[in-house]
Structure 1
Amino acid sequence: MPQLALYTFGVLKSPLADPAPLTREFHDRAEPIYQTISRHPGYLARAEAADGDRGTHFELDWGAWGKFTVPTWYGKGHTAETTALATTLSLWTDLRPAFDAIYTGLHREALNRRYDWFERTGHPGHVFWWVSDGVIPTWQDGVSRLEHLHDHGSAPHAFTFHHSFTPDGTPARIKGIGPKSDLAR
């Protein structure tokens, strides 16, 4: 059965290493949010460093998730002192569980504060695509899909919650988003 890949990317207003209270507040919320989401029904996995290290994204060994890469529009640093990004790569069983996990609880609270922490870049902040069971998407896959979404809009190849698709490419809607009243299957 196909699985849903989700890549998120945001450019932070200040580097992760910045000791300012607002940056620390963002950083301190990450682990509790990851823990909550990892227990959510429909969540399968997320990219984590192979050795469990917490260094800069660019230097870590991501194992099967591949070499870390970022979209072409990211123009900030790549060192521990200058990296100013937040990104995730995860696998889900379907759109509804992903939607429910992202738009409830701790993550919803963080989303409500996103403009305190993130720059408004004019680029999409997330992208979905379907992968075959057992396939682990790579960081490069996520970047390619996000850039495709930016350049071409939602399509079965790369889509958003608002304009989503089933694994066979049929347009789908999640209840509460878009013009239809329920997830079309």
Structure 2
Amino acid sequence: MPRLALYTFGVLKSPLADPAPLTHEFYDIGEAVYREISRHPGYLAHAETAGGDRGSHFEADWGAWGEFTVPAWYDKGRTVDTTALAATLSLWTDLRPALDALYTGLHRTALNRRYDWFERTGHPGYVFWWISDDVTPTWQDGVSRLEHLHDHGPAPHAFTFHHAFTPEGRPREGKP
């Protein structure tokens, strides 16, 4: 049975190592959001570092999720002290559970505050694509699909909630 991969990417207004209250607030809510989403029906897994280190995206060991990489438009730091991004890579059973998890509860609260923490880049902030059940998506997969979505718009290869496709590549009818 196909699974749904989701990659999200945002450029933060300040580095993850910034001691400012907004940065701590982002971390605090982020940890709570992950805990809540991981218990949501339809959630399967998300990329985690082997050591669970904060702010060391580029140096971390991501195991089967592959080497960490970012879209070409990210032009901020790449060290623990200068990285200013938030990215996730996760697996879901279908669009409906992902929609329910991401637009309710703590994640909804965080989405309402996203412009406190994130820059408005003019690039998409997320992308979905279908994968077979024996595949683990990689960070590179997510980046290439997000860049494809930005450059070419939604397609079976890379899509959004609003312009979704079935695992067979047909446009999805109605709301997820």
Q: Shorter-chain TM-score: what band?
A: over 0.9
Show structure 1 runs of 5+ residues with no match: 174-179
Does the aligned pair in 1 maintain the 2:55–2:83 contact within 8 Å?
no
The Cα of 1:63 is off from its aligned counterpart by 0.3
- When normalised by structure 2's length, the TM-score is 0.97
- Aligned residue for 1:59, secondary structure, equals coil
The Cα of 1:118 is off from its aligned counterpart by 0.3
Task: Name the residue aligned to 1:133.
Answer: 133
Paired residue type of 2:150: H
1:110 aligns with 2:110: yes
The Cα of 1:51 is off from its aligned counterpart by 3.4
The Cα of 1:50 is off from its aligned counterpart by 2.3
Task: Name the residue aligned to 1:34.
Answer: 34
The CA deviation string for residues 117-143 of structure 1, in whole angstroms up to 9 with x for no partner, is: 000000000000000012100000000
In 2, the alpha carbon distance for the partners of 1:7 and 1:17 equals 23
In 1, the alpha carbon distance for the partners of 2:83 and 2:103 equals 27
1:12 aligns with 2:12: yes
The CA deviation string for residues 86-113 of structure 1, in whole angstroms up to 9 with x for no partner, is: 0000000000000000000000000000
In 1, the alpha carbon distance for the partners of 2:158 and 2:170 equals 13
In 1, the alpha carbon distance for the partners of 2:18 and 2:52 equals 22
The Cα of 1:41 is off from its aligned counterpart by 0.2
The Cα of 1:55 is off from its aligned counterpart by 4.8
In 1, the alpha carbon distance for the partners of 2:149 and 2:7 equals 12
Q: Aligned residue pairs: how many?
A: 176
Does the aligned pair in 1 maintain the 2:8–2:125 contact within 8 Å?
yes
In 2, the alpha carbon distance for the partners of 1:27 and 1:55 equals 10
Evaluate the alpha carbon distance shift between residue 53 and residue 13 of structure 1 in structure 2; reply closer, same or farther with a 3 A threshold: closer
Runs of 4+ displaced beyond 3 Å: 51-55
The Cα of 1:22 is off from its aligned counterpart by 1.1
Paired residue type of 2:75: G
In 1, the alpha carbon distance for the partners of 2:23 and 2:31 equals 14
Does the aligned pair in 1 maintain the 2:11–2:119 contact within 8 Å?
yes
The Cα of 1:52 is off from its aligned counterpart by 3.2
Between 1 and 2, higher relative CO (CA 8 Å, sep ≥ 6) is seen in 2
Task: Name the residue aligned to 1:159.
Answer: 159
In 1, the alpha carbon distance for the partners of 2:109 and 2:80 equals 27
Paired residue type of 1:38: S
In 2, the alpha carbon distance for the partners of 1:102 and 1:134 equals 24
- When normalised by structure 1's length, the TM-score is 0.93
Show structure 2 runs of 5+ residues with no match: none
Task: Name the residue aligned to 1:84.
Answer: 84
Query: Counterparts in 2 of 1:49-60, with a 5 A limit?
Result: 49-60=49-60
The Cα of 1:30 is off from its aligned counterpart by 1.0
